[in-house]
Structure 1
Amino acid sequence: MSNILRVGIIGAGGIARNVHLPNYSKHNDKVKVVAIADVVRGNAEVLAIEFGIDHVFSDYKEMLETVELDAVSICTPNKFHAAATIAALEAGCHVICEKPPAMTVEEAELMAHTAQKMGKILTYGFNFRHTEEVSALKKYIQADELGEIYAARVHAIRRRGIPGWGVFTNKELQGGGPLIDIGVHMLDTALYLMDYPEPDTVFGVAYQKLGNKKGVGLFGEWDWEKFSVEDMVRGMITFTNGSSIIIETAFAANIQQHEEMSVVLMGDKGGADVFPLKIYQEKHDTLVDVTPTYLPKNRDHPLQMERFIQSCIAGEPPISTPKQGVILQKIINGLYESADKGEAIKLNNPAED
């Protein structure tokens, strides 16, 4: 690898324009984005002009074959995450792939296997891990301030927040709705703070009650007649260490708040709300609430991209690992399977270990 990290972008949508490209640009002493590919070549050409990218392609495989790259950002719809990631890894590139890891557990496992085989970094765009609240709370947890975290509650709910852009309501391209799009963020945050325990059993229910009807859209108008994903998932996950998570996620629900993104942790020495951060403990025969008056200012997406760059240059392990991606994918797909079958799904099968 040269002194400058040579980066390619696969997918020229909003996440590439608003997150990956501007944050690579902040580190132009270390990084140069040299190529971009999108099936709609015109979209790639627009970003190439805006960000000074030399090479434009409509086929990412051609990009990987013809341009020397050190790292690649995968910014495609979910359906194409696995194929693009595997191709980039096999071309000898480090990869940051947007969430979720993939559409299926098998895809996530193959992505992890390929990264290991090629000796390359594979990490995922779970930007909430990089917030100041999560960074601070992780230190408290590592200092045993919460003790054994045995229960968590995860909310990622919007009152009327169905995306009116992109392919977020297309099940074929996305694999699902709020669970795989916004719920995955809060679920990953809880799992990260709980040190990613091994899942045992999941039970989920899914609803499509509002998205398939014409209504008010706080995130723009959506095509309700082609709405093919769920608009709500509720579920419970248990883990082999005895801990559990309750999750509730929705694009649209009749609730008071316009949006709630929250994680609540409960341990035997303390508990915490993560967004905003508050810690609850019992000390000296009193119940105390600890509220930070100052937190170091982390900006989640910029720090996420900075850490990826540093991992590529210095060979440091990424904060989000392929193994964690597989665990998360098992839970997501397990919840969908449970909702489809109307029964709990066992994920930890000793016969398969």
Structure 2
Amino acid sequence: MKWGLIGASNIAKTCVIGAIRAVGDEVVSVLSSDEGRVQQYAQDNDINHYTNDIDQLLSNPTVEAVYISTKNNLHKEQALLAIAAGKHVMCEKPLALTVEDAKQMVDAAEKAGVVFATNHHLRNAATHTALRRAIQAGEIGKPLAARVFHAVSLPPHLQGWRIEHAADGGGVILDITVHDADTLRYVLGDDPVEVTALTQTGEMSKTGAPDSVMGVIRFKSGLLAQFHDSFTAKYSQTGLEIIGTEGTLVARDVMTQRPVGEIELINAEGSRKLALEHHNLYETGFRQFSKAVADHSQPAATGLDGIWSLATGIAVVEAAATGKTVPVSV
């Protein structure tokens, strides 16, 4: 499959271009509104064609699919243009800034008959798949509670709009909490129904976009999930714990792009490590996307998955702003 990149982004450079090539696909064009930046980006990443005109990229008959990694407020317009041009779409999270906009994107793709995916790469990790399988196998009985530790240090080259421009979709919630929501949905096979949250602002952000958040999500089953997300934790390890009636799963160093981490299962039989075969998360996602195009199956994370994570993130934003428990509306 031949791909066009909408956005000359760091994530595309460090993770996505290599994944696309590793699964046997090709990057044939890249778009950025900054003509100087896109020319240098294409040269640095061995991409033959570049443009600052989205119509030019989308009218290229060799481009079969696009990967969108621009600012969050641009996703909707760019995705709808790509869908109208008959291109398959892999869009970064969050899909948009409102649930209504995200639904419009997903509905348009369905009507056009193109594959639409959300790049929730964490669900592609061997660790999260192992957690999901252990829960489905009844290893910990009925899941009752979960705890997500997703506090990291946002490096300077990724800061910019993510911490300064809330109107563009910046802030820790739409950047990280949406990942927590998707990971929990995938691992638990359960959907969120309401949230409470408090935010912290000022350790990194100077304009009001929250740089840390803590909260609780209630799921349909009744399970309660704590989460802590931050841009300001320089020396913290990520993790995910699932506590059940008959045991606990403790996953360490797993809320990360890297294929690492370990899982300990603790139950009446004692404690043991789960066997894991780590693999590149992005390669797994793009391989599944190509398969979905070829045989009309589902990508690793669908548009509906993206709607759920966005709706949860938006509910967390509202809960933190109002001090109220807010329903997750999909």
Structure-2-length-normalised TM-score:
0.88
Determine the structure 2 residue equivalent to 1:187.
181
Structure 1 residues 1-353: aligned runs within 5 Å: 5-28=1-24, 31-158=25-152, 161=154, 163-165=156-158, 166-172=160-166, 174-197=168-191, 199-212=192-205, 224=206, 227-252=207-232, 258-275=235-252, 276-283=262-269, 288-292=270-274, 294-347=275-328
Q: C-alpha separation between the residues in 1 aligned to 2:172 and 2:185?
A: 18
> 1:190 deviation in Å?
1.8
Determine the structure 2 residue equivalent to 1:221.
none
Amino acid at match of 1:34: V
Q: C-alpha separation between the residues in 1 aligned to 2:220 and 2:133?
A: 24
List runs of 5+ in structure 2 lacking aligned partners: 253-261
> 1:148 deviation in Å?
2.6
Please provide the CA RMSD for this pair. Answer: 2.2
Q: C-alpha separation between the residues in 1 aligned to 2:180 and 2:21?
A: 28
Alpha-carbon spacing, 1:320–1:181, altered in 2? closer, same or farther (3 Å): same
Using the TM superposition, name which of 52-61 and 73-82 deviates more.
Answer: 52-61
Alpha-carbon spacing, 1:69–1:250, altered in 2? closer, same or farther (3 Å): same
Alpha-carbon spacing, 1:96–1:173, altered in 2? closer, same or farther (3 Å): farther
Write the deviation string for residues 230-281 of structure 1: whole angstroms up to 9, x where unpaired.
121111111233222111111125xxx6133211112223321223311122
Amino acid at match of 1:39: S
Write the deviation string for residues 187-216 of structure 1: whole angstroms up to 9, x where unpaired.
32122101141x32211111214124xxxx
Aligned 8 A contact 1:190 1:263 in 2: no
Amino acid at match of 2:199: A
Aligned 8 A contact 1:187 1:247 in 2: no
Alpha-carbon spacing, 1:44–1:162, altered in 2? closer, same or farther (3 Å): closer
Aligned 8 A contact 2:38 2:50 in 1: yes
Q: C-alpha separation between the residues in 2 aligned to 1:206 and 1:80?
A: 25
Determine the structure 1 residue equivalent to 2:258.
none
- Secondary structure (helix, strand or coil) at the match of 1:169 reads helix
Q: C-alpha separation between the residues in 2 aligned to 1:320 and 1:89?
A: 18
Q: C-alpha separation between the residues in 1 aligned to 2:229 and 2:328?
A: 21
State how many pairs are aligned: 320
Q: C-alpha separation between the residues in 2 aligned to 1:119 and 1:176?
A: 31
- Secondary structure (helix, strand or coil) at the match of 2:42 reads helix
> 1:181 deviation in Å?
1.6
Amino acid at match of 1:238: R
Structure-1-length-normalised TM-score:
0.83
List runs of 5+ in structure 1 lacking aligned partners: 213-223
Aligned 8 A contact 2:178 2:312 in 1: no
Q: C-alpha separation between the residues in 2 aligned to 1:107 and 1:81?
A: 9
> 1:49 deviation in Å?
2.4
Q: C-alpha separation between the residues in 2 aligned to 1:313 and 1:33?
A: 18
Amino acid at match of 1:318: P
Q: State the identity as a percent.
A: 26
Q: Which has the larger radius of gyration?
A: 1
Aligned 8 A contact 2:132 2:188 in 1: no
Q: C-alpha separation between the residues in 2 aligned to 1:15 and 1:203?
A: 30
- Secondary structure (helix, strand or coil) at the match of 1:145 reads coil
Aligned 8 A contact 1:186 1:262 in 2: no
